[in-house]
Each structure stands twice: as structure tokens, then as C-alpha cells.
Amino acid sequence: MLSSHTSSGVMPESLVHWINESADQMLKQIEFPKATDELWRKFPLSQLDLDALSNIQYATNVTEMTYQDEKSDEKYTTAKHFLENILKKANDNFFALYTLRHAKQIYFYELNEIKSDQEYYDFQCTLSANLNGNVVLLISIPPNVSVKIRETYFSKANTDQLHMFCSLNYYHLGAGSKLEVLMEEEYDENLFHFRSLFSFQERDSSLNYFSFPKGGYRGKQFYRPELNGIGSAYQLIGVSSLVKRELLDIDAKVTHLADHTSSRISYKTIVNDRSHHIFTGNLAIPSHAKKVTAHQESHNLSLNKKARAEANPKLEVMAEDVSCTHGATVGDIDEEQLFYLLSRGLTQSDAKSLLVAAFYEEVVSKIPFSEAVKSHISENIRKSVLGN
């Protein structure tokens, strides 16, 4: 326990009802995504029977964060303000609105620095077998506070029935604050999953996001960070590990709205079997933003000729006084490196495992969490793509 004075982060039913109604009205104003839409042209929407999935019961189990609640009287007002901002940003994002429309509970936390031997705040979400899930998580970091959060999302099915999980996250960083988020996802092979992540950053704040998704049947993720304050910084680092028939489509767009802001996207993917991964990175800088530094890179490793990985870098740069770079690679295991390891006495399996580990360990090593956490993530990736 962090403090004797703790509180649940669950918002009142009146707020849930309000956002359900508000999102429903907005959904009526837009159409369901089409395969011809740029954001959805690689995603198999024809396989998604939303009406059938909507009839499945919702059941999501959440292990809440333990946190010190010092401003409980203001929680409702602040949470509603955040939700109003999300509605403005998500007015054309069907599944973000769909998540808000079907939300059963909304979780809101204002997190201060942990004053104990606990390393991070822990938020866990488990989807019951064969059912649908939905979670909305709002996080507020006060000015000049540094916080770490570990978020875990898990599902497991015991039949071939398709089901769906929709989630929405919003992070608000006060001036001078720092937030480091470690997100782990592990889904069953019959799950459609849709995730929308929004963030708002004030002056000199820093948001570092470390993402490690695996599993699922078909998945789509939207990253929509906004750098609103002078000197704010954002970083997205991650590794996707896909096997079997899994598909994950990630669309990340970083918008710089203030001077002297910086962002970095560095994402890696490992695909095996018949899996398919798509990563689209976009840097958006309007004409008024000055002294902006932005970089994105996407590196993809294929372990099977039938697996597919796509990297789509984009730049929407309207300003002149900026520095923007991008890069992308897609390839197989280096045959020369493999031959070298085999010539040193390693087996084919051990040599391949070593080269794959070298690919993703560079990312895992950058996680600002304990060695035990890093080891856990590394082992999960290895088992996922190599099966041993």
C-alpha cells in the first residue's frame, strides 16, 4: 500500500452514462470505416462482423492501481474535462468512439510519485474467456512529478469463438512532469482488438512509451500524442512479435503544436509463420512550430517467407525551422551472421535464437524498469516467435 488514504479510480455511473450517450450521438454522424479508407486499406474489415460481436456479453476484470487520492472532490470534473478533449480528438475515429459508447466503467487516476519501495504503479486488465472487453483509462500527472506505470492486458479463449476487446487510454502530463509507461499485451488467437491512445503534454513534460504487443487475431492500434507545451518530448519504443495468422496494424501520428518540442519513434517487429504486421509512422508539424526535432524508424525481421512486414513512414511538415528524419528496413536473418555462428559450433536453432535475441534485446535494454521486468519481457518475446 502506498498510503493509508487510498481510493478507487472508478468513476460514477453518471459520468459513464454521459460519455456513452455523447459517443453514441457522434457515432451516428460518421460511417463505419471502409476498406478504401487510407487508415483501413490493409485491415481486413470484411472479416469483422460488428453486429454479431456486439451481441456477445461484456466482461472485463481490472486490478486497479493503489494510489494516493488527494483531490477526490475534483476527480469528476477533471475526468469529464479529459473525456471532452477525447471526444474532440476522436471525432473521426470510429473505434475510439465505439469504446466510449460501450464503456461499462471509466478509470481515472491522478498519480503522484511513489514514496515506497514499489517500483511502479500497476494496472492489469484481463478479458474473460470468449467474451468481449472494454476499458477506458485516464491518467493525470501533476506538474514536476515523475511516475512509472506498468499496464498489462491479457485475454484467453477456450473455444474458436471470435470476440473483441476495445480500449482507450488518455495521458495528461502537467508542466515539467515525466511519465514512463510500459505496456504489455498478450491476446488469444480469436480476438479482434482495437486500441486508441491519446496524450496531452504541457511545457517541458516528457512521455516515454514502451510497447510490447503479441497475439490476437486482428488488431488495430492508434497512437495520437500531441506535444502542446514548449520543450515537451515524446518517445515511442516497442517490439511486436507475431506468429500463426496474427495481424497487427499500428498507426502512430505525433503532432507537434509548440516550439522546441522533440519526438522519437523507434519500433521493431518480428513476424513468423503467416503473420502480418503493418507500421505507419507520421510526424505532423504545422507551419507555426519552430525548432522542432523529430525522428522515426521502423525495423522488421521476417522468420518465414510467408510472413509479411510493412513499414510506412510519413511526414506532414509545414514548418521550415525543423529537423526531421526517418528510416525503415524489412529483412530476413543475415545469412553471413548465421554462417559465422554455425562455424563456431552453434546449432542451427541456437544460432537463430541468438540472432533474433540480438534484434529485440536492443529495445528491451532501454526499458527504465528493473532487470527482472526486462528479463520477463525478453523471455515472452523469445517464446512467442521461436516457440522454445
Q: What is the pLDDT of residue 115?
A: 75
* CB-CB contact of 71 with 110 (8 Å): yes
Instruction: Read off the pTM.
Output: 0.94
Sign of torsion over alpha carbons 347, 348, 351, 356: negative
Q: What is the pLDDT of residue 348?
A: 78
Rounded to a whole number of angstroms, the CA Rg of the chain reads 21
**In the chain, where the domains are located:** 13-333, 334-388
Q: How far apart are CA 264 and CA 235, in angstroms?
A: 5
Q: How many CA atoms lie within 13 A of 242 on its CB side?
A: 27
* CB-CB contact of 267 with 295 (8 Å): no
Say whether 340 sits in a helix, a strand or coil: helix
Q: What is the pLDDT of residue 339?
A: 72
Write out the chain's pLDDT in tens, 388 residues. 223 234 578 899 999 999 999 999 999 999 999 989 989 999 999 999 999 998 889 888 998 887 666 556 678 899 999 999 999 999 989 999 999 999 999 999 999 988 777 889 999 999 988 899 999 999 999 999 999 999 999 998 877 889 999 999 999 999 999 999 999 999 999 999 999 999 999 999 999 999 999 999 999 999 999 999 999 999 999 999 999 999 999 999 999 999 999 999 999 999 999 999 999 999 999 999 999 999 999 999 999 999 999 999 888 888 888 999 988 898 888 778 877 677 777 787 888 888 889 999 999 999 999 999 999 999 999 999 887 6
Q: What share of the chain is helix, strand, coil (3-state, %, to 5)?
A: 25, 40, 35
Q: How far apart are CA 144 and CA 176, in angstroms?
A: 5
Written as one letter, the residue type at 55 is N
Q: What is the pLDDT of residue 388?
A: 64
Q: What is the pLDDT of residue 334?
A: 78
Sign of torsion over alpha carbons 279, 159, 123, 366: negative
Task: Give ∠ CA 139-94-50 in degrees, rounded to 5.
Answer: 115
Q: What is the pLDDT of residue 160?
A: 85
User: What 8-state DSSP symbol labels residue 90?
Assistant: T
How do beta strands 322-331 and 218-227 pair?
unpaired
Angle subtended by helix axes 371-386 and 348-364, to nearest 10: 140
Task: Give ∠ CA 222-120-186 in degrees, rounded to 5.
Answer: 45
Q: How far apart are CA 285 and CA 173, in angstroms?
A: 20
* CB-CB contact of 313 with 325 (8 Å): no
